[in-house]
Chains A and B, each alone.
Chain A
Amino acid sequence: MVPLLAATAPPPVPSSFSGGAEAIAVLVLLSEFAMLRAPLSRSQVRLYAFQSLAVTALAFFVAATQHVPELYALAGFSFLLKVVFVPGIVLRLLKDARVDLVASNRLGVATMVLLAIALSAFAFFVVGRLPVRSHSLPTPALGLAAAVILVAFLLVMLRSDVVSQAVGFFSLENGVSVASLVVAAGLPLIVEVAFLFDLLVAVVVFGVLMRVHHGRTQSLSTDVLDRLKG
Chain B
Amino acid sequence: MGWDLLVITIAPFVVSLVCWWAPVALGRALTLASGLLSLGLALGLVTARTTTAAAGWLRVDALSVVFLVAVTFLYAATSIFAIGYVRPGGDGTVTTRYNRRFFAGLNLFAWAMAMAPLVNGLALLWVAIEVTTVVSALLVAIDGTDGATEAAWKYVLIASMGLGIALLATVVMYYAGSSVFGAVHELFYPKLLGSAARFPPEVVRLSFVLAVLGYGTKMGLVPVHTWLPDAHSEAPTPISALLSGSLLAVSFYAILRFYQIAQRAIGPTFPREVLLAFGLVSLAVAALYLARQRDMKRLLAYSSIEHMGILAIGMSFSAPIAVVGVLLHVLAHAAAKGTAFFGAGSMLRKFGTKDMTRLKGGVGALPFSGPMLVLAVLGLCAMPPFGMFRSEFLIVSGGLADRHDALVAVLVVLVLLATLGLTWFSTQTMLSPTAEGVLRGETSLWIVGSMVVGLVALAVLGVHPPGQLSDLLRRAAHELGSGA
Contact = CB atoms under 8 A, between A and B. Distances in A.
A1 B154 contact: no
Interface stretch (A18-26, A91-99, A178-186): A178-186
A110 interface: no
B355 interface: no
Interface of A (DSSP majority class): helix
A222 B164 contact: no
A208 B233 CA distance: 21
A225 B230 CA distance: 11
A209 B203 contact: no
B130 A208 contact: no
Interface stretch (B67-75, B176-184, B279-287): B176-184
Interface in A4-56: 4-5, 8
A83 B286 CA distance: 43
Contact of A4 (B131, B146, B179): B179
Contacts, number: 139
Interface in B11-63: none
Interface stretch (B166-174, B322-330, B407-415): B166-174
A202 B133 CA distance: 9
Nearest to A6: B179
Interface in A177-230: 179-180, 183-188, 191, 194-195, 197-198, 201-202, 204-206, 208-209, 212-213, 216, 222, 225, 227-228, 230
A183 B134 CA distance: 27
Interface stretch (A100-108, A112-120, A165-173): A165-173
Interface residues of B, number: 53
Contact of A201 (B134, B206, B289, B293): B134
A228 B171 CA distance: 35
B183 A186 contact: yes
A183 B174 contact: yes
Contacts of A216: 146, 149
A153 interface: yes
A209 B156 contact: yes
A202 B160 contact: yes
B134 A205 contact: yes
B130 A227 contact: no
A135 B179 CA distance: 12
B144 A173 contact: no
B180 A4 contact: yes
A183 B175 contact: yes
Interface of B (DSSP majority class): helix
B183 A185 contact: yes
Contacts of B439: none
A225 B206 CA distance: 34
A170 B160 CA distance: 10
A227 B233 CA distance: 12
Contacts of A166: 157
B153 A176 contact: no
A145 to B, nearest CB: 9
A228 B234 contact: yes
Contacts of A172: 161, 164
Given A153-B161, A180-B171, A209-B152, A1 B200 contact: yes
Contacts of A186: 178, 182-185
B124 interface: yes
A188 B183 contact: no
A3 B171 contact: no
Given A183-B171, A191-B124, A202-B160, A5 B150 contact: no
B151 to A, nearest CB: 6
Interface of B: 123-124, 126-127, 130-131, 133-134, 137-138, 141, 144, 146-147, 149-154, 156-157, 160-161, 164-165, 167-168, 171-172, 174-175, 178-180, 182-187, 200, 202-203, 206, 229-230, 233-234, 289, 292-293, 298
21 contacts: A8-B182, A132-B175, A153-B161, A156-B157, A165-B157, A169-B161, A176-B164, A183-B172, A186-B184, A187-B123, A188-B123, A191-B124, A198-B131, A202-B130, A205-B138, A206-B156, A208-B141, A212-B152, A216-B146, A216-B149, A225-B153
Interface of A: 1, 3-5, 8, 130-132, 135, 149, 153, 156, 162, 165-166, 168-169, 172-173, 176, 179-180, 183-188, 191, 194-195, 197-198, 201-202, 204-206, 208-209, 212-213, 216, 222, 225, 227-228, 230
Given A3-B203, A184-B171, 4 more contacts: A179-B168, A179-B171, A180-B171, A225-B154
